[in-house]
């Protein structure tokens, strides 16, 4: 009799554990463990910052349990800075019924947002989603688009420029006239620089082929250059520095990749970490924890001062000790 009661108790205990295990499996399934998700990544153009954001996005998804070859298929596409390519790539994603689109750079997120109102879109390396007309507001996007912004700390970057060039009177800047993100940054930079008594000379370009001529047109009238997170310039920073270096004039830019590519310095964004942030947001969408309409646009969590020591030596500039202190040095 006592043994029978004991057996019954054991049986009940096993049944209870079974229920808990089943509940746990159901929770895992809700996270997508039993489904292979399809994600399309469309990148505007190949350059270090966007490449880093792309890599970070994939690693951010992996950190949340979404891994290629297990429960995730990724279709990676690069538009090579061609608008028609962007449109074709996004249409391919729609036809393939991807579960989510990651759009890297402003033109990419605009193309994706114009093509579909149903598939969730997360953007990264996008300066201003509102000005790009892909969300209603940064706090409440209201549609199928959300993501991370690479809006740089322009005032802090100009302050860095002033520390490096305390006697500077005129700043030169070159940017692509077709990039709304660059226009926003240059406008903000001009307002802040002029409030500090600096003059700004601007030259606009359409393609990489225009960079050298644009730089030469203003090189003699400026003391130093400032470059925003412009995709055309970013894809060809050595072309710009081929003009600025011989003239002994540094380039302060809005992103870390520009410094590793030859510019002098930045206080800017680590695009890999920005990509990881974006991947984390995408994971929330895939898990059903949030919808793009309700997910506010996030900005970069981490900023870093980066100095290109070799470039400083090349242009004959001595970096102040207070700037070097705590900075990341590119040898």
CATH of the domain at 203: 3.40.50.2300
Residue 18 placed within a domain: no
Residue 11 lies in a domain: no
Whether 198 and 234 map to the same domain: the answer is: yes
Whether 119 and 75 share a structural domain: yes
Per the structure, how many domains does the chain have? Answer: 2
Contacts by residues 130-138 (CB-CB < 8 Å, ≥ 24 positions apart) = 131/180, 131/181, 131/184, 132/106, 132/180, 132/181, 134/109, 134/110, 135/297, 138/296, 138/297
Q: Are residues 203 and 314 in the same domain?
A: yes
Looking at the structure, tell me whether residues 258 and 292 fall in a common domain: no
Strand (E) or helix (H) holding 189: helix 180-195
User: Whole domain around residue 112: which residue ranges?
Assistant: 37-150+270-301
61, 98: one domain = yes
Burial class from Cβ neighbours inside 10 Å (0-12, 13-18, 19+) for residue 219 reads: middle
Going 186 to 276 to 285 to 298, the CA torsion angle's sign is: negative
Residue 8 lies in a domain: no
Q: Is the same domain home to 109 and 162? A: no
Alpha-helical (H) ranges within 64-105 are: 83-95
Whether 17 is covered by a domain: the verdict is no
Cβ contacts of residue 187 below 8 Å, gap of 6+? Answer: none
Q: What is the DSSP letter of 221?
A: G
172 and 316 fall within a common domain:
yes
Q: Which two tokens stand for residue 228?
A: 């925003």
Instruction: Confirm whether 209 is domain-assigned.
Output: yes
123 and 162 housed in the same domain: no
Q: Strand order of the sheet with strand 100-104?
A: 72-78, 37-43, 100-104, 121-126, 145-149, 298-299
Question: Is 118 within the bounds of a domain?
Answer: yes
Residue 24 lies in a domain: no
Please give the Cα distance from 237 to 227 (Å, whole number).
10
Q: Same domain, yes or no, for 186 and 196?
A: yes
Where do we find the tokens 């100095």? 307
What ranges make up the beta strands (E) of the chain?
Answer: 37-43, 72-78, 100-104, 121-126, 145-149, 170-176, 199-205, 224-227, 251-253, 265-269, 298-299, 303-308, 328-330
Task: Quickly list H helices, 235-297.
Answer: 237-244, 256-260, 271-286
C-alpha span between 248 and 64 (Å, rounded): 47
User: Per the domain annotation, does 7 fall within a domain?
Assistant: no
Distance of alpha carbon 258 from the chain centroid: 13
Does one domain contain both 227 and 320?
yes
Q: What is the pLDDT along the chain (331 residues), one digit of tens a residue?
A: 343 443 344 344 434 434 333 333 333 334 545 899 999 999 999 988 999 999 999 999 999 999 999 999 999 999 999 999 999 999 999 999 999 999 999 999 999 999 999 999 999 999 999 999 999 999 999 999 999 999 889 999 999 999 999 999 999 999 999 998 899 999 999 999 999 999 999 999 999 999 999 999 999 999 999 999 999 999 999 999 999 999 999 999 998 889 999 999 999 888 999 999 999 999 999 999 999 999 999 998 778 899 999 999 999 999 999 999 989 999 7
For residue 135, give the DSSP letter.
-
Q: Are residues 226 and 166 in the same domain?
A: yes
Residues 170 and 279 in one domain: no
């Amino acid at each position: 009799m006592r043994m029978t009661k004991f057996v019954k108790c054991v049986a009940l205990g096993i049944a209870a554990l079974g229920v808990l295990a089943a509940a746990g499996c159901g929770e895992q399934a809700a996270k997508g463990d039993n489904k292979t998700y399809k994600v399309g990544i469309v990148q505007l153009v190949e350059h270090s910052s966007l490449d880093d954001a792309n890599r970070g996005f994939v690693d951010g998804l992996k950190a949340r349990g979404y891994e290629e070859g297990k429960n995730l298929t990724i279709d990676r596409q690069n538009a090579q800075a061609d608008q028609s390519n962007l449109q074709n790539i996004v249409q391919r994603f729609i036809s393939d019924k991807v579960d989510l689109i990651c759009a890297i750079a402003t033109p990419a997120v605009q193309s994706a947002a114009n093509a579909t109102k149903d598939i969730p879109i997360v953007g990264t390396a996008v300066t201003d989603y509102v000005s790009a007309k892909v969300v209603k507001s940064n706090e409440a996007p209201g549609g199928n688009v959300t993501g991370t912004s690479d809006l740089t700390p322009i005032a802090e970057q100009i302050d860095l420029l002033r520390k490096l060039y305390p006697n500077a009177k005129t700043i030169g800047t070159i940017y692509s006239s077709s990039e709304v993100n660059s226009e926003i940054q240059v406008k903000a930079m001009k307002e802040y620089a002029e409030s500090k008594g600096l003059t700004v000379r601007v030259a606009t370009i359409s393609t990489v082929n225009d960079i050298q001529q644009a730089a030469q047109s203003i090189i003699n009238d400026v003391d130093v250059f400032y470059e925003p997170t412009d995709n055309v310039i970013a894809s060809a920073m050595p072309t710009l520095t081929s003009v600025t270096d011989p003239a002994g004039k540094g380039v302060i830019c809005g992103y870390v990749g520009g410094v590793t590519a030859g510019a002098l310095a930045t206080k800017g964004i680590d695009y890999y970490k920005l990509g990881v942030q974006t991947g984390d947001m995408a994971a929330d969408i895939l898990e059903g924890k949030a919808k793009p309409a309700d997910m506010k646009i996030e900005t970069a969590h981490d900023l870093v001062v980066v100095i290109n020591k070799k470039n400083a030596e090349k242009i004959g500039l001595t970096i102040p000790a207070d700037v070097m202190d705590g900075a990341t040095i590119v040898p």
